[in-house]
Structure 1
Amino acid sequence: MNEKEIRSLAKNGLYQGKALEGELEETHISWIILTEIHAFKLKKPVKLSFLNFSTLKLRKTYCEKELMLNSRFTDVYEAVVPVYHNGGLWSLGEGQGEVIDYAVQMKRMSTASRMDKMLRHNKVGVDNIKALAIEVAGFHKNADKVCQPFKLSTAMTLFNDIKNCKDLVKTKVGVSYAETIEGAIKWSDAFLKQHAERFQQRIDQGMLRDVHGDLHSGNVFLYKKPVVFDCIEFNDKYRQIDVLYEVAFMCMDLEAFQHQELAEEFLNTYSDSFPCFQVVEDQAIFNYFKCLRANVRAKVHALSIEQSHEDKEVQGHIVEVKKYVNLMKVYMAY
């Protein structure tokens, strides 16, 4: 589906014979239609360096995988439903005509309870963070261990993928930010070579597990029992990671919101439940992981600059790129 079609589905489409009248939200790889009771997530027909949603068959496959993987965390995910188009009429779940796409059907959660929105309004407290850390640690303890060797070239490629955005950053964001990215790539290559043995030791010790892969505040609802959702389904290597890398994302995110104290609380509470620092060198690896997570967020917003059509959205993504590149600079200086 394209943007015009998804807007028509959200505004005029049907679900179980009734008008959707949905509110549309968008990420760089998905559209989400929010109704009073449900949320329907559709994958954009894109092919990027790290994912491929370019065909209907692939989008169906990844919708089914998303449902299966996220059911490990929550009962929010309900089904994968087809999108029909017939004579100008759009419908979800049931209908006639051609199946144009597929959507992941979820229970509608309270937008006001999403952690990133609560952080923006300074409504996240220590108790929220402790509950989330305990929830994540509990899942990590029982997550499947992954036994595969540390590959230096793969680790380098993961960090260095941001190089594909360097020219865009130079043009749209600023020369100094592109220079920081270039410097970060050199720093990362040197760090990975220096600590390659310890990365492998952590794998041998069972710290590489099939976890969430995208654990940031936008993927958490802070109810009395935190709800973690939207894990990575499109690329197994992004989800089968060192648990310390997962923890680093949440801590980096909290620091990006300028809540260092909450980042420390999350890390301390998690570590009390599931110790993830075993030798002094792990502190440096944790810092590297935070830099890598800031790298990924900078890349996501850089890609979104090209996909945005309104100047306000473009400027918003530019601000975010600057923020995360600056964070990379801070972590490299540790």
Structure 2
Amino acid sequence: MANRLVESRTTAVPYVDVHETHTGMVVLVGDRAFKAKKPVFTDFLDFRTLEQRERACFREVKLNSRLSPDSYFGVAHLSDPTGGPAEPIVVMRRYRDEDRLASIVTGDRSGQSAQRLLDRIAEVLADFHEQAERDPVISQQGTLSAIEQRWHENLTELNRHAAETISGVSSPSVSKIEHLVTEFISGRAALLSSRIEGGYIVDGHGDLLADDIFCVDGEPALLDCLEFDDELRYIDRVDDAAFLAMDVEFLGRKDLGEYFLEQYVAHSADTAPPSLRDFYIAYRAVVRAKVDCVRLSQGKTEAEADAAAHVDIALRHLESGAIRLALIGGNPGTGKSTLARALAEKVGAQVISTDDVRRELRESGAIDGDPGVMNSGLYTPDNVTAVYEVTLRRARALLGKGHSVILDATWRDPQMRAHAQCLATETHSVMVELMCVATIDTAAQRIRARRPGNSDVTPEIAVELATQSDRWDDAYRVDTSRGRDLSVLSAHSVWRRAV
């Protein structure tokens, strides 16, 4: 039997092998894996008594059988030859190292095999989350205060390690993470509440690592869920998926991490904004950085580079997911609407145009007047104020739900810009100010060439506005006469730096 098992493997794998951690031991024998708990007590678990270890074994089998019933055979008992009590052990299927997702991801240069597997994992995980348990106790872990507490605990620990002069885990980097996290959470109460109300907080897996997922005949086996702390397993389902996306990125395949998360969102029909995905990827990276620091303190020198890499991932995603409120302004015909739409497509932001709002308000009867005349008709001061108030009110709702917003308007009035700045401050959003510029002739020519739409501006109005003094010193000037691609490149550079 032993010879047949060894010969069936594609690599030389010992029939018997042993792996040990600080909390347990795994003995691999043939096609089985036997896991025993050590009688230890730590900050997060207590296995000191036989009864506690027995309960932990049964719980491990029960919880993991939700996702991988064919991988867990049950709990057996190892008899003591000296006559002592039998020790409980978890009996599992043994998998080959080359069938690990981590091996597949790092070994597949084209990414095609990994993509097929990740697509299937996304489907399995989405189905699991759809059926996962939900109740008020579970939902409580999705509240703003619970999420703040989790971040606080992990960052406090990471700060302690940063004081130990670990390369890549510095106090300034941890402080920056803290700032970005605080800004995101503080302005996103509406988003977090909507996740609870939508039933997105579930009893999940809680520890999705590429090393603990295997592929057999094209089907994934997702092992080793977090069983020692129920509250840490009660999470937003996007948080659950983000853990694996983060780990795949850590393995050097950011493209595959993004692919997996996109497939998960597609299979689950989840409406989470991209910023929330970035937020939870960063959270999982911080959790792993903390674990890396612990490993380093235990003498695992390779963990120092791992910690630095995880901190870097956290910072990148928090910066990418920071909520921004962008004002893209300028005189008519300077290309602000074109730039607003193009930048929004690149960064995943929502666009609100005052032209569109004005047309809606006119059609509803909220404002009236003839178009095409400066400071009268549709453009009286009262009508202009009404349009900007509605624009900012809609922006507030989107910012609170975790969407970055681009406001397409002239933004000539400093008072209106001040109102927008107040909105950014109140919603803990980063302000981005861009002013489009072009020659008077170019602007007039663009207006003449426009297709019919929501803008009522004439070339004459554009010329009149262009001759008026307009100081907007805080804005970055984008010369749109250079062409669309260069304009978007400049605007995107300003957007990315604004954190």
Normalised-by-shorter TM-score class: 0.7 to 0.9
CA distance in structure 2 between the partners assigned to 1:47 and 1:169 by the alignment: 26
Matched, 1:82 2:68: no
SS at match of 1:231: coil
**Hey, what does 1:200 align to over in structure 2?**
193
Q: Percent identity?
A: 26
Cα deviation, 1:129-174, whole Å, max 9, x if unaligned, reads: 2121112112122222233334433222212223224333432623
Compute the RMSD of aligned alpha carbons: 2.4
Moved more, 25-34 or 59-68: 25-34
Does the Cα contact within 8 Å between 1:146 and 1:240 map onto a contact in 2?
Answer: no
Q: Mapping of 1:269-308 within 5 angstroms? A: 269-278=263-272, 282-308=273-299
Pair 1:119 & 2:105 matched: yes
Moved more, 289-298 or 253-262: 253-262
Give the structure 2 partner of residue 222 of structure 1.
215
Count of equivalent residues: 298
The residue type equivalent to 1:159 in the other structure is: W
- 1:128 corresponds, among 117, 120, 136, to 117
2:453 is matched with which residue? none
How far does residue 27 in structure 1 lie from its aligned partner after superposition? 4.2
Q: Which has the larger radius of gyration?
A: 2
Give 3-state SS (helix, strand or coil) of 1:97's partner: coil
- 1:235 is the counterpart of 2:221: no
- The Cα offsets for residues 178-225 of structure 1, whole Å up to 9 and x where unpaired, read as 432233234323322221331121111111112211112112102211
Query: Of the two structures, which has the highest relative contact order with CA contacts closer than 8 Å and spacing of 6 or more?
Result: 1
Instruction: Say whether residues 1:211 and 2:204 are aligned partners.
Output: yes
3-state SS in 1 of match to 2:170: helix
Query: Aligned partners of 2:163, 2:255: CA distance in 1, in Å?
Result: 33
**Counterpart mapping for 1:142-291 below 5 A:** 142-147=131-136, 148-149=139-140, 150-162=142-154, 163-171=156-164, 173-174=166-167, 176-223=169-216, 224-278=218-272, 282-291=273-282
User: Take 1:156 and 1:64, find their aligned partners in 2: how far apart are those partners?
Assistant: 32
The offset of 1:297, in angstroms, is 0.8
Q: Which runs of 5+ in 1 are unaligned?
A: 1-19, 88-95, 309-313
TM-score normalized by the length of structure 1: 0.81
Query: Does the C-alpha gap of structure 1 residues 30 and 276 become closer, same or farther in structure 2, counting only changes over 3 Å?
Result: farther
Q: Is the 8 A contact 1:177 1:325 kept in 2?
A: no
Amino acid at match of 1:140: H
Shift of the 46–300 alpha-carbon distance from structure 1 to 2, 3 Å rule, reads: farther
1:293 shift after superposition: 0.4
Q: Determine helix, strand or coil for the equivalent of 1:72.
A: coil
Query: What CA distance in whole angstroms lies between the structure 2 residues aligned with 1:146 and 1:181?
Result: 34
For residues 298-318 of structure 1, give each alpha carbon's deviation from its aligned partner in whole angstroms, at most 9, with x where no partner exists: 11222222334xxxxx11111
Against the structure 1 CA distance between its residues 175 and 264, is the aligned structure 2 distance closer, same or farther, given a 3 Å change threshold? closer
Residue equivalent to 1:58: 52
Contact 2:122 2:263 in 1 (8 A): yes
Partner of 1:327: 313
